[in-house]
Structure 1
Amino acid sequence: MSERPNLSVILCAPRGFCAGVDRAIQIVELALQRYGAPVYVRHEIVHNRFVVESLEARGAVFVEELDEIEEDDRPVIFSAHGIPKQVKTDAEARNFFYLDATCPLVSKVHREAEIHHRRGRDIVLIGHKGHPEVVGTMGQLPEGAVTLIETVGDVMRLEPRDPGNLAWISQTTLSVDDTRAIVEALRERFPDIVSPHKDDICYATTNRQEAVKAAASDCDAMIIVGAPNSSNSQRLREVAVSSGCTRSVLIQRARDIDVAAFAGIRTLGISAGASAPETLVEEILEAFAARFSLSIETRRIADETISFPLPRPLREPANPPAAEKALATS
Structure 2
Amino acid sequence: MSRFWYNLRVKKILAVSGGIDSMVLLDMFYKSEPSNILVAHFNHGTRESADLDEDFVMRKCKEYGVPFESSKLLLGEGVSEEEAREKRYAFLYHVANKYQGEICTAHHLDDLLESVVINLIRGTFWRGLAPFGNSKIRRPLVDLKMNKTDILRYAGENHLCFRQDPTNYQNDYLRNRVRESLKSLEKEKKVAVLELTEKQKILREEIEKNLGNLLETIVMKNSQGEIFFRRDCFQAEESAVSSEILRSICLEANISLTRPQLLNFLEAIKNYQPGKKFNLPKDKMATITRDFVRL
Establish whether TM, by shorter chain, passes 0.5. Answer: no
TM-score, length of structure 2 as denominator length? 0.26
Hey, which of these two has a bigger chunk of strand by percent? Answer: 1
Q: Which has the higher contact order (CA 8 A, sep 6+)?
A: 1
Hey, which of these two has a bigger chunk of helix by percent? Answer: 2
TM-score, length of structure 1 as denominator length? 0.24
